[in-house]
Amino acid sequence: MRKPLFVGNWKMNLTGPEATELTKKLTLAVGDLGNVEVAIAPAFTSLRPVSSIISASSMGLAAQNLHAEDKGAFTGEISGAMLAELRVKYVIVGHSERRRAFNETDVMVNLKIEAALRNNIVPIVCLGEKGEERLARKTLTVVRKQLNALLEGIPLEQSAKIVIAYEPVWAIGTGHNATPDQAQEVHKYLRDRLTKRYSKEIADQIRIIYGGSVRADNIYDLMMESDVDGALVGSSSRDSEQFAAICSYRHMNKAEA
Ligand code: PEP
């Protein structure tokens, strides 16, 4: 019922020519996977060239951030209205790197979710616990608080299109992914909370994707969990063969990648 979604987050990597080259390789390697949705999130400066390369493919364009206002005196920022002009379909909000390096809070991210929805862009809402919180067995409490704050005031009629990305902070860029059981426990818990907040029908439509050291050699087992609906992929998304294998949950040994 939920179409799996795979999003490549290139972060602050790749110059314009490098992004163009990788996008061309990706369109060939990923091809048209009718049963899954694939999107890539280049840096702002590469959105336009990437947008034109993927326009003939089934791949979607994602941005890595947006400002909560549509315009105004916010030097250096990019608004949802500007992203919509470039045919941006998704925007990542609340990534742990933005929380850590730019002091973004759940309240700020909540406003960004509203801005994305106002501009018809699907927010990919990141949340997840830190390593010490998992060790202290606070994972579910932490993600519950985050979910409540992030979705505060988001109306029922907008809710089904939101994507939630469970990204345990300790798994991002570390090579240590959550086990399928760990991911499933949190995803199921989040879906139950979404059922309470909205309805079972809505919760069953919301995609909850996993992020944190996803590779072609671990995606299959993660995707076998009933509440894992895809992945937000960092470093493995900058290797066209690896990302293509992830999107088709095809196993590749690290040596092949
Ligand atoms: C990310 O940055 O969202 C991420 C999941 O990174 P990585 O896949 O490199 O852990």
3-state secondary structure of 218: coil
Sorting pLDDT into bands at 50, 70 and 90, what band is 143?
A: very high
- How far, in Å, from the CA of 177 to the mean position of ligand 1? 10
- pLDDT tens for 60-104 read 999 999 999 999 999 999 999 999 999 999 999 999 999 999 999
Atom 2 of ligand 1, nearest CA residue? 234
Q: Is 251 a catalytic residue?
A: no
Which tokens in the block code for residue 110? 């909540």
Atom 7 of ligand 1, nearest CA residue? 234
59: closest CA among 82, 83, 34?
A: 34
Pocket lining: 49 vs ligand 1, CB cutoff 6 Å: no
Question: Residue 45: its pLDDT value, please?
Answer: 98
Pocket lining: 116 vs ligand 1, CB cutoff 6 Å: no
Spatial separation of the C-alpha atoms in residues 169 and 156, rounded to whole Å: 28
- How far, in Å, from the CA of 211 to the mean position of ligand 1? 6
Pocket lining: 94 vs ligand 1, CB cutoff 6 Å: no
Sorting pLDDT into bands at 50, 70 and 90, what band is 251?
A: low
Environment class of 73 (CB within 10 Å of its CB; exposed 0-12, middle 13-18, buried 19+)? exposed
At position 127, the amino acid (one-letter code) is L
Pocket lining: 212 vs ligand 1, CB cutoff 6 Å: yes
Confirm whether 186 is domain-assigned: yes
Read off the CATH number of the domain in which 244 is found: 3.20.20.70
At position 154, the amino acid (one-letter code) is I
Question: Residue 246: its pLDDT value, please?
Answer: 96
Confirm whether 196 is domain-assigned: yes
Sorting pLDDT into bands at 50, 70 and 90, what band is 110?
A: very high
| Residue 91 bridge partners (DSSP) | 63, 123
State yes or no: pLDDT of 113 exceeds 90.
Answer: yes
3-state secondary structure of 230: strand
Which tokens in the block code for residue 99? 């929380």
Sorting pLDDT into bands at 50, 70 and 90, what band is 33?
A: confident
Environment class of 113 (CB within 10 Å of its CB; exposed 0-12, middle 13-18, buried 19+)? buried
Question: Residue 257: its pLDDT value, please?
Answer: 52
- pLDDT tens for 168-203 read 999 999 999 999 999 999 999 999 999 999 999 999
- How far, in Å, from the CA of 157 to the mean position of ligand 1? 30
Confirm whether 257 is domain-assigned: no
Q: Give the mutation target among 163, 167, 238 for probing the ligand 1 site: most ligand atoms within 8 A of CB.
A: 167
Confirm whether 256 is domain-assigned: no
11: closest CA among 40, 38, 39?
A: 40
Confirm whether 75 is domain-assigned: yes
Q: Which domain holds residue 94?
A: 5-251
At position 244, the amino acid (one-letter code) is A
Q: Give the mutation target among 124, 213, 237 for probing the ligand 1 site: most ligand atoms within 8 A of CB.
A: 213
Q: What is the mean pLDDT of the chain?
A: 95
3-state secondary structure of 255: coil
Query: What sections of the chain are H helices per DSSP?
Result: 16-30, 47-54, 80-85, 96-102, 106-118, 131-135, 139-150, 156-159, 180-197, 200-205, 219-223, 240-247
Atom 1 of ligand 1, nearest CA residue? 234
Spatial separation of the C-alpha atoms in residues 252 and 255, rounded to whole Å: 8
Confirm whether 55 is domain-assigned: yes
Confirm whether 112 is domain-assigned: yes
Q: Is 95 a catalytic residue?
A: yes
Question: Total structural domains in the chain?
Answer: 1
Question: Residue 255: its pLDDT value, please?
Answer: 53
Question: Measured from the CA of 95, which atom of ligand 1 is nearest?
Answer: 3
* Counts of helices then strands in the chain (DSSP H, E): 12, 8
Spatial separation of the C-alpha atoms in residues 210 and 232, rounded to whole Å: 6
Question: Residue 245: its pLDDT value, please?
Answer: 95
Contact 248, 230 (CB under 8 A): no
- How far, in Å, from the CA of 56 to the mean position of ligand 1? 27
State yes or no: pLDDT of 230 exceeds 80.
Answer: yes
Question: Measured from the CA of 175, which atom of ligand 1 is nearest?
Answer: 10
Sorting pLDDT into bands at 50, 70 and 90, what band is 15?
A: very high
If you search the block for the tokens 């937000």, which residue do you land on?
232
What is the average per-residue pLDDT within 50-65?
95
Sorting pLDDT into bands at 50, 70 and 90, what band is 18?
A: very high
How many C-alpha atoms does 160 have within 13 Å on its Cβ side? 10
What is the average per-residue pLDDT within 35-47?
97
Spatial separation of the C-alpha atoms in residues 56 and 225, rounded to whole Å: 32
Confirm whether 93 is domain-assigned: yes
Question: Residue 252: its pLDDT value, please?
Answer: 64
